[in-house]
Amino acid sequence: MSKAANWINLNGKVAHVTGGGKGIGRAIATALSMAGAKVMVSDINEESAEETAIEIDGSYLQLDVSNSEAVYSALSETESVFGGIDILVNNAGLYEGYGGPIESISDEKWRALWSVNVDGVFYCCRTAADIMKRRGGGKIINVSSTQARTPGVGVSYDGSKAAVEMMTKTLALELAPFNINVNALAPGPTWVRDGEAPPVSAQNQFNNEDPLSRAVGNRIERLPLGHWGDPMEQGKAAVFLASEMSAFVTGAYLPCDGGWLAL
Ligand SMILES: NC(=O)c1ccc[n+]([C@@H]2O[C@H](COP(=O)([O-])OP(=O)(O)OC[C@H]3O[C@@H](n4cnc5c(N)ncnc54)[C@H](O)[C@@H]3O)[C@@H](O)[C@H]2O)c1
């Protein structure tokens, strides 16, 4: 194997991917497994986690990342099954049905989204940091979004993803002395509806009367790379952040967005 191929080889590494039952999480779990990692797939939906695990010859468990005790148990179980955790991907996130307008966002809806998108990332990082320190290092990948920097889904979601970006930078500094790299992966529009082809045009997909929806629709229409992202494109970026290829990268926010943030 060439030296460059070795840099991307994850043989002997253990990964835990949250929200790995479908969409981007499933693709990231698949890509990490294709690069050689042993993968523990977790999801609030146990059946879908099992499906992914079967496809990639990995393991699975049911996990609601908004429950701190459950997070502690799930990551501890990953450590005891595989002997450690080298790569944590905080992918689980809510967005569909959580948009605005602001008056329509109840306290319960606000808390539900933040408890997954922000609390969940915090709980998983806290437990993984301890496990990785004992292991002598690791890689944490927090899935943020282009919406951390450009409004789109709504005040709750966009704010939560900006929080994830800042948590990533803070933890990158705090954990650098322990050889733990912490980076954010920021997907742009990525088509996750199984069995349905992405629309060629964003027209009719977005509500022109709503400024946020219009902003997203306009950007998708003008996306430099000209097509919706495929989940595996996020998987490839995650392999980069999980591997030796990104040894000197920490505290970064990596847009994988077809040029969205360049617009
Ligand atoms: N699809 C996109 O265009 C896009 C763009 C930017 C960022 N993202 C981010 O990427 C991540 C994955 O998005 P996706 O599009 O694949 O979403 P998705 O809805 O297709 O999949 C999300 C997965 O997370 C699981 N999940 C939900 N709540 C959970 C919880 N409390 N605990 C554990 N698992 C839970 C779901 O069961 C599901 O399997 C999210 O963080 C999302 O915000 C997606």
pLDDT band for 18, please (50, 70, 90 cuts).
very high
The answer for residues whose C-beta is within 8 angstroms of residue 229's C-beta and 6 or more apart is: 187, 188, 189, 190, 191, 256, 257, 258
The answer for residues whose C-beta is within 8 angstroms of residue 115's C-beta and 6 or more apart is: 66
The answer for residues whose C-beta is within 8 angstroms of residue 10's C-beta and 6 or more apart is: 32, 35, 36, 37, 87, 239, 242, 243
Residue-wise pLDDT for 115-129, tens only, equals 999 999 999 999 999
Q: What is the set of domains in the chain, with CATH numbers?
A: 3-262 (3.40.50.720)
Which residue has a Cα nearest atom 40 of ligand 1? 93
Write out the catalytic residue numbers.
157
pLDDT band for 199, please (50, 70, 90 cuts).
confident
Instruction: Pick the range with the lowest mean pLDDT from 215-219, 237-241, 256-260.
Output: 215-219
Q: Which pLDDT value is given to residue 200? A: 79
Atom of ligand 1 nearest to the CA of 147: 6
Bridge partners of residue 89, in order along the sequence: 17, 141
Atom of ligand 1 nearest to the CA of 115: 31
DSSP secondary structure string for all residues of 199-261: PS--TTTS-TTSHHHHHHHHHHHT-TT-SPBPHHHHHHHHHHHHSGGGTT--S-EEEESTTGG
Nearest to 141 by CA among 101, 88, 74, 213: 88
> Does position 82 have pLDDT exceeding 80, yes or no?
yes
State if residue 94 touches ligand 1 by the CB under 6 angstroms criterion.
yes
From residue 248, give the alpha-carbon distance in Å to each of 31, 52, 181, 245. Answer: 21, 31, 8, 8
Return the best residue to mutate from 24, 75, 116, 157 for the ligand 1 pocket (most ligand atoms within 8 A of CB).
24
pLDDT band for 72, please (50, 70, 90 cuts).
very high
Which residue has a Cα nearest atom 44 of ligand 1? 187
